[in-house]
Structure 1
C-alpha cells in the first residue's frame, strides 16, 4: 500500500493537534493492543481474561455488589448485541470486524461518480447525513498514514496479516457517539458497561450506513471502528477535541463521554483543523483521573515519550497508561472500567449554561479556580438508583 504522506515525518497541523513524534516513531502493531494480547500473550491472558470475554455472551455469575447483578450483566450484554452480530459475520475467515479488521462492504461502489465541485459543501453534506443516521459529532481529517496499524490480525491464529485498506484514500471521517451520562455515573459496574455497549452497537450501524451512502455516490468508503488505525489522532486532527491525561479526547460538547468510529474514503472533502482550547494546560494541573484509578494505571507528571509496556506506541510524546494494569482490573471485575471518565472534570453536559460557564473558566488562566470548583463532583452513583428511577 502507498499513501500520500511519509508516516515517519512530522506533518502540517501536528503542533495545533498537540502531536509530538520523535525519530523513534513506529506505526503501532495491532497485535500489541492489550485486548488482542489477551488472546495470545501469556503475560496478559489469564482465566480472568478468558472469563471477561465470555461474560459478554452469557451473563457472568452474579456476585455481591450493587451494579453486578444478573440483570446488570444482562443489560450490558444486550446493549452490545448489534455490534457482536456484525463482528461475528466473518469470524470463520479470521476477520473480527470492527475490532481486528475493517467492516466488509455490504454495498458495491456505484459505477457512476457524483461530481463534487466543492469539497467544503460535500463535507457539510456528509456531516448532515452522519447526524441523520445518529452520530453526535462528525469531523474530517486528512489521510495521515502514521496512525494506521502496521498490520492487522487474523483472529484464527492471531498471526499478523497485511492491513488491507485500499489505496487512494484521502480523508478520514471521524464520528462521535455520546455515552449515556446516567450510566457513566455508575462506573465501575456491569450496568455502566451498557453505556459502552450501546454506543458500539450504534456506531456499527451508523458507520456502515454512512459508508454505504458514500459508495452509492461512486466513491470508495471503508467503515471502521477500533480496527485499521488509531482513532484518537484522527479525532484530534478532525477538530473534535483535545487529548487528555485519562487517554481520552475531551470534546467541547460532551467532554470525554463518547466513543469514536471512522470512515476512510476517497470522496473529495474539505478537512477540518485541530482546535486547541487549553485542555492540555488544565490536565497539567489536574490529576483526578490518576488519583481515582484503583490500580494506578494512569500517569502523573507531564507527557513522556513511549510507555512502560509493549502496548504503548513508540516515539510519541503523550500521557500513556499502563495497559496491562488497566485491563487486568477490567478482567477481575468482568466488565469495563471508566472511573477515569466518570471523575474527569470535563465530564459535564455542556448544553447547560452553568457547565459552559465552567468550561470557559477551565480553559482560561483561571483554570485552578475551575479545578477547585470541581472538587466535589464525580462521585459514583449507586447502580440500583438507575433501576429505581
Structure 2
C-alpha cells in the first residue's frame, strides 16, 4: 500500500474541513458497529440477529404502515444485486464490497495505453462514470490514513490483512443519488429500498468503471464499504462538506447519496476540496439531533471521540453508533431520519431550492434555517404505495 502522498499538488486536511489531532489512529474495520454485532456481546442480541435475518425474510415482518411484508419485500429485492456480489467470496471469508474489496472480473491488460494528460484523463473517467450511471464523480490522491488498519474475515470475524496492489496513486469517488420519495418515508422498511437500490447500482457501476480502467492497462480496485473510509475521500475530492448528521452535504443532492470508490494507478488529476459553508450552517442547526429518536447525534460543537466504533484523533461531529444501531435492530431496518429532516435534503434542480442553498451557505444562514422550519415531515409509506396505482 502506498504511503500518504504529500506532493506539490496535494491539498491539506484543512482545505477539506478535516481536523486531525495528535492522537490519530487508523480504524480497524472489526470495530465498525455492523461487524461488532457479530462478535461483541455488548452489541449482539436477539434483536440484532433479527435485523440481519429480516434481510433474508427469515424474520416475521412487523405490523404497521411501512413494515408490512410488501415493504420488506421491496427493500430486500432492492439489495439483490449487491447481495449476490457480496456472497461471491464467502468461502474465503470475504464479503466483497463490505468487508473485502471487489475481486477482479477482468485482468489488467498487458498493453498499457499512454496517458499524456492526466487532467484530460480525469475528464474522460467522469464521462464514463456518468455513462455507467454515477450521479457524481471526483478524483483525489491516495491517503493511507483513511484505510482500515485491518479488514474482517467474515468466517470468524477476526482481523485480516488489508492490502491494495502496488502502484495505486489515486481514488475515484462516485456518488449515487437516493430516491427522494422513498427517503421521505423514513423510518420504514420501505425507505430502506432507497439505500438498497443504490448499493445494487453502485456495485455494477464500480465494477464496470474498474474494468474499463483495467482494460486500459492500469490497476483498478472496485470498492464500496470495504478497504477505506469513503467520507474523508469524498471531502478531499471536493464532492461536499461534512455535516452534523455524519453525512457529506453535496451542492447537487444535499445528503441524499451513497458513495463508492475505485483505487487506481491510472494517471489522473486531483480535484480540489471545497469549503462550502455547511459547517457554519450546522453550527446553528440541530434538526437532525432533535429528530433522532434515541438521541444518538451530537448537539454541541465537533469533538474528538473515544467510542469503539469511531475513528480516533479526528475532531468532528460523531454519532453514538451503539444507540443508532440499537434503534435499527428494534425496527429490523435502517433509519435515516437525520437525512430526511436535513435542511439540505432538497431538489437543487429547482430555482427556489438553489436560492435557498445560496442563503444557507452565506451570512444569511439563520434566515435560511427559519425558512426550513416546516420542511422534512415524514410521508406515510402507504402514500408512496398509493402513488404506484
The CA distance in 1 between the partners of 2:65 and 2:327, in whole Å, is 17
| Residue 57 (structure 1) shift | 1.3
Q: CA deviation at 1:238?
A: 0.5
After superposition, the C-alpha distances for 1:104-125 in whole angstroms (9 at most, x for unaligned) are 0000000000100000000000
Q: Name the SS for the 1:22 alignment partner.
A: strand
Decide which of 360, 363, 380 is 1:362's aligned counterpart. 360
Query: How does 1:137-156 map onto structure 2 within 5 Å?
Result: 137-156=136-155
- Aligned to 1:200, what secondary structure does the other structure show? helix
Asked if 1:81 is matched to 2:80, the reply is yes
Q: Secondary structure at the match of 2:221?
A: strand
User: Which aligned pairs between 1:226-265 and structure 2 lie closer than 5 A?
Assistant: 226-265=225-264
Q: Distance in 1 between matches of 2:152 and 2:78?
A: 26
Q: Is the 8 A contact 2:242 2:278 kept in 1?
A: yes
Deviation by residue 1:23-70 (Cα, 9 ceiling, x = unmatched): 110000000000111111110111111111111111642323210000
315-324 or 58-67: bigger deviation: 58-67
TM-score (norm 1): 0.97
Q: CA RMSD in A?
A: 1.0
- Separation of aligned partners in 2, 1:157 and 1:70: 32
Local SS of the residue matching 1:260: strand
Q: Give how far 1:16 is off.
A: 1.3
Pair 1:340 & 2:338 matched: yes
What is the 5 A alignment of 1:76-225?
76-225=75-224
Asked whether the equivalents of residues 2 and 142 of structure 2 are also in contact (C-alpha less than 8 Å), the reply is no
Residue deviations 1:275-301 (CA, integer Å, cap 9, x gap): 111000000000000000000000011
Specify every segment of 5 or more residues in structure 2 that has no aligned partner in the other structure, as ranges: none
Structure 2 Cα separation of the partners of residues 175 and 245 of structure 1:
22
**Helix, strand or coil: the match of 1:28?**
coil
Distance, in Å, in 1 between the alignment partners of 2:311 and 2:190 is 31
Aligned to 2:196, what secondary structure does the other structure show?
A: helix
1:59–1:73 Cα contact (<8 Å) kept = no
- Taking the aligned partners of 1:338 and 1:60, their CA distance within structure 2 comes to 21
Contact 2:108 2:214 in 1 (8 A): yes
Q: Does 1:374 align with 2:372?
A: yes
Q: What is the CA distance between 1:378 and its match in structure 2?
A: 0.3
Q: Deviations over 1:66-103 (max 9, x none)?
A: 10000000000000000000000110100001000000
Contact 2:174 2:259 in 1 (8 A): yes
Contact 2:2 2:144 in 1 (8 A): no
2:351 & 2:59 partners in 1: Cα distance? 41
Q: How far 1:4 moved relative to its partner?
A: 4.6
In the TM superposition, 1:17-36 aligns within 5 A as: 17-36=16-35
Q: 2:322 aligns with which of 315, 321, 324?
A: 324
Change (3 A) 1:293 1:4: closer
Structure 1: 5+ residue runs without aligned partners? Answer: none
Q: Distance in 1 between matches of 2:146 and 2:2?
A: 14
Is residue 72 from structure 1 mapped to residue 32 from structure 2 by the alignment? no
